[in-house]
Structure 1
Amino acid sequence: MANAYANSEATERKKHETTNDAAQLGDVVVRGETTQKDLETTSATVLHHEDITNRVFVTPLDIVTLSPGVSVIQYSQGGTAANFIMRGFSGNSHGSNTAIFLDGIPLNEGDGYADTNVINPEELQRVELIKGPSSALYGNYASAGTLAFYTKKRVDQNQLKLQYGAHNTYEANFVGGFSNENWDHVYSIQTYHTDGYQDNSKWDRQNAAVRSTYHATDTLDIRLSARAFDSDWDAPGYLGEEDYKRDRTQAVSETNGGRKSRQEARLDLDYQITPNAKILFNTWGYSQEFSRWYANDPSNLDDDEIVGNLRTFERDVIGTGGSYNFAGSLAGRKLRFTVGTDYMFEDDDRNRWRLLAGTGREKGPKFWDYNIEMHTFSLYTQGSYQILEPLRVVLGGRYDHFQGDMTDYLDGGETFSMEEQNIFSPKGGVVLTFLENRLELYGNYSEGFALMPGFSEQAAFRQEDWDPQERTQYESGVRIFPSMDLALGFNVYRLETDKDYILNRITDEYENVGSTTRDGVEITLDYSAYDYGHLYLDYGYVDATYDRFVSDGKDLSGKTLRSVPKNIFNAEIRYTPPRGFGGRLRYHYEDGYYLDDANEHKSESWERVDAQVSYRFGQNANYLAALDIVNLLDKEYADYTAGTTERRYSPALPLSLYATLTVNF
């Protein structure tokens, strides 16, 4: 399951060591697959369908907790996206630090926010979590890493999953399709409902997708994909400390909630020029509407006082790209590379209205009304060459160009143009293999960047002069395979950022004057025993500090970055026979994190145990009944803590049971 190529991926690699490169190239349908082997020079995590399925995820983003050193923050606000912490960065799906894709379509919005609730885990074929800016295939948002979800393009059998559990949670999920000589069809449909653990927490979502591949000739495939997603929810808000201690099930306000709809489509053309060369072309687009009501406790306010706001986002995006992919040899040595280009246009309308204490979700005065149009153009290349039998070198680089305009309709309709940005990011890595593939040493160097993040996005257009943040990663590690049943992994990294943005309160402009360093270690052990037994351990440590950072007159140099836990540990033992009883026990521990830059306030550490008992039966073992217990020991802790003297909390689930029946046919 976890550290890339350190366990299940290692086994797969050994199985296919003699597989012809040209045959592998025939399976390439998205650009990342050509250079997937280059991930061996990094500590990336690669998860396959069998690692993901037959698990209970609070939200789909929980998948990333199967990677070492990664923590998920469940805000428990219905369809509002969860967030995750990785490589010492706390805003990876609520910020501009991690690029997130579903079948090559970016989920990140203008400020980096990425809603992974559109993911249906049951239809996933593979998930890649690349840490740091180490891949040349990804640019904007990818400085802390890249999270890429890939769905099934072909199915051998249909699957129906039915689940019912705590807090009146129920889900029906179907993934199926059929194939013949000329076509591969895949369909999926998911419907989900929960009443939620807290009051005012009902959430309904529906997700449907289709992917049809037409094998026009022996060398040309045409694929059309489409998805529709709808989500509607109420949200409890964040509890104050007294309310959190008195009654964790209560809601702050019945006003909180939201709705979202998203429709997307993508066309792919895959043309195999020669047995060793393939061209991929794609064009795609999506349209989405997102509304969120966000309100504080109105009980002590007059009816005409401001209690929160309504936020609406209307977003239309189109993109296109193409790449040339080669897998062959040069001078008798293996050579693989990709060279390609991408273009994306974003049209974003953002509005906000005040909410008043006495009028619920009714709109008050408008205070935001602006439109952003952004153009992004990219060129990239990445390749690897087997210089010597034990030594493979990976080199890559990308160029990104950004330009855009913002029109503020509350400022007389004035248009502000962003300073055009042209950024080059080099990458490189090596992997040395010894002892008949039982020992691998690897290392990489990569540069990345970050544009103005979060709520400073208007400053990117209004401010005449600014530079992107510069982010540089150094990483090295070792993978050891003492036997086919045991894999060990160890890596260390340093991720430096320079030109961090700090707001100058006097000029009211952001200045590129900050710098930070994140040093970390990740360790994994993956052991298979007695045919169907499995033990997995991972540990992640990060020391994230301000090197040079003065904010509001306070020198934070040497302080720890807030919202980043130093230690994360996972242990899992499971037994998964092809028939009969099976089970799984998983333990997670996570440090508390600082709640302020001065390091004077800290959240609580927490731990959780999850368990599963399953039974596989039927003539072809095609039925699986499972009982999952989340938070087996019924620990009370907060999934999210914010604030210092006046804290706010999002309580985690108590002990919760879920019964699942899965049928393959």
Structure 2
Amino acid sequence: MFRTSCFSLPFYGTLTAAAIFSAATPHAAIGAEKPRSPLSQHAPPVPKTHKNPVKTEQILVTGVSRSSVLRRPAGQTTYSSDRSNFANQVGQSVADMVVTIPGVSFTQGNGPRDTNISIRGSGDRQSWGLKNIQVLEDGFPMTQPDGTARADLIDPHAYQGVDVFEGPASTLYGNYAINGAINFRTRKGADIHGLELGSDFGSFGMFNNYATLGFGNRHYDLMIFGSDVRGNGFIANSRYNTSTENMRLRVNLTSSDRLILKFVNNVTDAFLPARLSLNQYRANPYQQGCTNASSAAAGCASVNLLVNGRYGTKVAMSPEEAGLGRFDRRTVVGLRWEHDFNSHTIWRNQFTYDQRHIDQPTSPMAYVGPYNSYNVSSDITNHAQLAGRALETFAGVNFDYLDFGSQTYNIMPLGDATRGAMNSESYGHQWNLGARFQEDWHFAPDWHIVAGLGGTYSDIGATETLYGYSATASTQRVITANRFYFNLAPEGALIYTPSKDWTLHTRVGTAYGTPSSSNLFITPQGEYGNNTQLKSQTSVGIDLGADWHPSSTISIQATGFYEFYKNELVSQSAGVNTVGSYTFNAPASEHRGVVLGVEWKPLPKMLPGGRVKLSYTYDNQIYTNYTEVLSNSTLSRSFSRKGHYIPGVIPNFLNARFLYDQPDGLLEGLGGYAEVTWRDSYWLDNANRLEAPGYALLNLEIHYDPPARFGWAHRLHWYFEVQNVANQTYIAGATNISDKLQANGQQAGATTLMNSTGSIYAGSPRAYFGGVRIRF
């Protein structure tokens, strides 16, 4: 179930974490168990009908750890999804974890688990990775200093839940939190209390074996997870094999000191089809009969490779012939020390090492290189009183550093992504030094106000060497970038809780995101070159929301948002046979919309196990000041994009689940759901000439957890599901494309743009999956 939280937790007198949580828990719409206290991983959930205005009484509870996992942004709309939403299904990717969260959408990236998660449209327009958000796991950063995060690391079987902080969030999360932040929470060893073994299997040769080991008590908590998933994919050249290991260990050294050790490792071995034009997609969405470019069927994509790997003649090859794919490794190690100075003050110090090593022949070029990053942070949280009312003060500093060296090579038409001559090489760094501060004052029984300020100084330095070849000579061209950015992010929020049934909140948040080094060296022509004029993007966002719990059977939460952007960084593809997407600044743009979540038990007496869950997002994003220059071989023209929709943003996204779990009787433990997901059509280009069509999908799931009275059988869980029941053909991911200037000086229409390649991946046809899990 998903839930929301719009402010952080107060602290009074000598409260421990459990007392804080039970005495003054923030409201949680869309009824579910409350989010864990930011001061305790072990605080028990509060009943979902619990809602109290803030009290000033003092409470003393002893014997509960005060370990803090992650600070929740005060006043910010926060949704969470817990394990009950995704543990009973196949759980192929992070999409299964967030599909029920309002304000969140997703598209298909480059690889089976490379899902592009988007908060209020933040990443819909990207071809890969998680962009414009900060990603954490158990409070450890999973976004590198250049803003890069990927979902390949995430096997949903390892997780207890996910928290999504929506809207500008740079005050607390710094650079790149332009649309918010996400924290993934792994399972606790004490909850597992033993060994779990599981297997998933299904269509297109998918097979996932996984194991989870967990133990814990008040002195320590250990969780170890490992999985290996493989499959053939439903598109030509999309077979894959991905392994993931995940571990978290908490040790209470003393009553005041805790150590948390985190380890994640992922190896992605995935072959990659080429993205299609809209015409190719309509002719052959799954790229059948495309193994050989010379005898390919209609609608097949190909890449043009230099015969000698250096210059001259090119030959078209299919992705399978060329050996396109992603063969990457990611390793993250983190250590956090938490110290309680007293019952009022917690100090946290954290270090994270993150290595991303890529080998990606994803186009006519192969990208190779390590990206090593280091993150150090220290923060302190103090609970006191001001004028007899609770005051929480938070302050922290952080420093992260990325050191990289990467090369690109021309791919030769010899198969297995054989490398030819080096096309370019880049060496450089990026570091961010930041500080953040926030005050949360409960100035009246039903009110509290939040004010904060964060800032980051960023240094990006890189040198790129471009190599050119001919029959008689080789050339080199060096491009150097050394950019410095300083950004501030103030915020303020006001929360009013007039009764246990209502919470009203408003917030003004700000955020920023600097370009990354990779943005600085690809020109609008899709070639390597100088693009170093890019500025930081900044935003100011206003949220106004309400949570309403009229009864124990229904919860409703709605938030309206209006965000003003300056120099928004937007990326577009120049085609499949270019080196990649290019990035530009749109001087001014606006994002506005509504996020709605509902959970309802329509017949609590007749069908106590029945529920309806609905999440809906309306996201309207437009340019308010942007002039684009288009060129052909003879002329250039400027076109105003003012009032045009920003391409790649899904304007309407709806998920509705109709669930039933039998609570007692002979069929206790039997349950399932029917799910409908609808996405609206959306534009693919700045001129709004070409749309990606929308779609609606129906999924069905049934599962069985035998009750405890069945003895050993209680340890067994099984499920079966059907995805895309109606076998719809739909677009799972489409990146933005460039508009074109025709010879007569007019912009090309949809008929021409339908042939622009490098954009579309089809979604899965009807698929069947099942699985079994047993506990020891």
TM-score by length of 1: 0.89
1:47 maps to a residue whose letter is S
- CA deviation map 1:524-560 (0-9, x unaligned): 2111334322211122112111101101011110111
Q: Which residue of 1 aligns with 2:577?
A: none
- Structure 1 residue aligned with 2:312: none
Alpha-carbon RMSD: 3.0
Pair 1:441-2:504 in alignment: yes
1:133 is aligned to 168
Change beyond 3 A, Cα 1:544–1:623 = same
Structure with more of its chain in strand, by fraction: 1
User: Which residue of 161, 181, 184 corresponds with 1:146?
Assistant: 181
| Separation in 2, partners of 1:22, 1:448 | 38
2 CA distance for matches of 1:262 and 1:464?
A: 28
Question: Residue 589 of structure 1 is aligned with which of 648, 665, 678?
Answer: 678
Partner residue of 2:495?
431
Structure 1 SS opposite 2:483:
coil
Task: Tell me how far apart the structure 2 counterparts of residues 582 and 163 of structure 1 sit (CA, whole Å).
Answer: 18
Hey, what's the Cα distance between the residues in 1 that align with 2:81 and 2:162? 5
Task: Give the distance between the partners of 1:351 and 1:184, measured in 2 at CA.
Answer: 42
The corresponding residue for 2:691 is 602
- CA separation in 2, counterparts of 1:260 and 1:287? 11
Equivalent residue number for residue 300 of structure 1: none
Q: Distance in 2 between matches of 1:593 and 1:232?
A: 32
> Among residues 279, 286, 310, which one is paired with 2:366 in the alignment?
310
1:444-523 → structure 2 map (5 Å cutoff):
444-452=507-515, 455-458=518-521, 467-500=535-568, 514-523=587-596
1:163 maps to which residue? 200
Where 1:118 maps in the other structure, the secondary structure is coil
Give how far 1:408 is off.
Answer: 2.8
Q: Distance in 2 between matches of 1:83 and 1:312?
A: 22
Q: Determine the C-alpha separation between the residues in 1 that align with 2:684 and 2:139.
A: 35
Which residue of structure 2 aligns with residue 395 of structure 1? 451
CA contact (8 A) 2:570 2:586 kept: yes
Query: Residue 115 of structure 2 corresponds to which residue in structure 1?
Result: 82
Q: Which residue of the partner structure matches residue 6 of structure 1? A: 29
1:446–1:473 Cα contact (<8 Å) kept? yes
Q: Kindly tell me: are residues 24 and 606 of structure 1, through their superposed partners in 2, closer, same or farther at Cα, counting changes over 3 Å? A: farther
* Cross-structure match for 1:291: 359
Q: Which amino acid letter does the alignment assign opposite residue 763 of structure 2?
A: A
Q: Percent identity?
A: 17
- The whole-number CA distance in structure 1 between the counterparts of 2:508 and 2:165 is 14
Question: CA separation in 2, counterparts of 1:563 and 1:383?
Answer: 37
The one of 736, 755, 767 equivalent to 1:646 is 755
Contact 1:134 1:445 in 2 (8 A): no
* Residues 245-270 of structure 1, C-alpha deviations (whole Å, 9 max, x = no match): 24625254212212111222111111
Aligned partner letter, 2:711: Q
Given the superposition, is the C-alpha separation of residues 493 and 229 from structure 1 closer, same or farther in structure 2, using an over 3 Å criterion?
same
**Could you give the per-residue CA deviations for residues 375-408 of structure 1, whole angstroms, max 9, x where no partner exists?**
2111112231111111111211111111132133
Is the 2:436–2:455 contact (alpha carbons within 8 Å) kept by the matching residues of 1?
A: yes
Is 1:99 the counterpart of 2:134? The answer is yes
SS in 2 for 1:658: strand
Give the aligned partner of residue 67 of structure 1.
Answer: 101
Structure 1 CA distance for aligned equivalents of residues 61 and 592 of structure 2: 40
Q: What residue is the counterpart of 2:726 in the other structure? A: 633
Q: Deviation digits for residues 510-533 of structure 1, max 9, x if unmatched?
A: 986610011101222111334322
Q: Which residue of 1 aligns with 2:702?
A: 613
Aligned amino acid, residue 674 of structure 2: L
Amino acid of the structure 2 residue aligned with 1:426: P
* Structure 1, unpaired ranges of 5+: 296-307, 504-508
Q: Deviations over 1:604-646 (max 9, x none)?
A: 1101011111122142733221101111121111212355221
**8 Å CA contact retained: 1:501, 1:514:** no
| Contact 1:130/1:145 (<8 A) preserved | yes
3-state SS of paired residue (1:155): helix
Per the alignment, do residues 338 and 432 of structure 1 end up closer, same or farther by CA in structure 2, a change over 3 Å counting?
A: same
Contact 1:95 1:453 (8 Å CA) reproduced:
no
Number of positions where the alignment pairs a residue of Structure 1 with one of Structure 2: 642
1:336 paired with 2:404, answer no
Question: In the alignment, is the contact (CA less than 8 A) between 1:502 and 1:551 conserved in 2?
Answer: no
2:283 alignment partner, one of 234, 245, 259 = 245
2:627 to 550, 555, 561: 550
Task: Out of 156-165 and 595-604, give the one that drifted further.
Answer: 156-165
Question: Which runs of 5 or more structure 2 residues have no equivalent in the other structure?
Answer: 5-27, 35-45, 291-300, 302-318, 468-475, 524-528, 572-581, 630-637, 738-752
Equivalent residue for 1:233, pick from 270, 290, 294: 270
Post-superposition offset of 1:310: 0.6
Are 1:659 and 2:727 counterparts? no
Instruction: Return the offset for 1:25.
Output: 12
Partner of 1:303: none
1:517 and 1:453, CA in 2 relative to 1: closer, same or farther beyond 3 A?
Answer: farther
What's 2:661 paired with? 576
Alignment of 1:263 with 2:331, yes or no, is: yes
Q: Is the 8 A contact 2:698 2:723 kept in 1?
A: yes
DSSP-derived class of the 2:642 partner: coil
What is the distance in 2 between the residues matched to 1:181 and 1:43?
A: 32
Distance 1:22 1:143 in 2: 39
For residues 526 and 334 of structure 1, what CA distance do their matches in structure 2 show? 32
Moved more, 239-248 or 608-617: 239-248
d(CA) in 2 for partners of 1:58 and 1:291? 23
Partners of 2:118 and 2:517 in 1: how far apart? 16
From the superposition, tell whether residues 96 and 372 of structure 1 become closer, same or farther in structure 2 (CA, over 3 Å): farther
Tell me how far 1:493 sits from its aligned partner: 0.6
Q: Give TM-score scaled by structure 2 length.
A: 0.77
Moved more, 530-539 or 424-433: 530-539
The change in CA–CA distance for 1:25 and 1:74 in structure 2 (over 3 A counts) is: farther
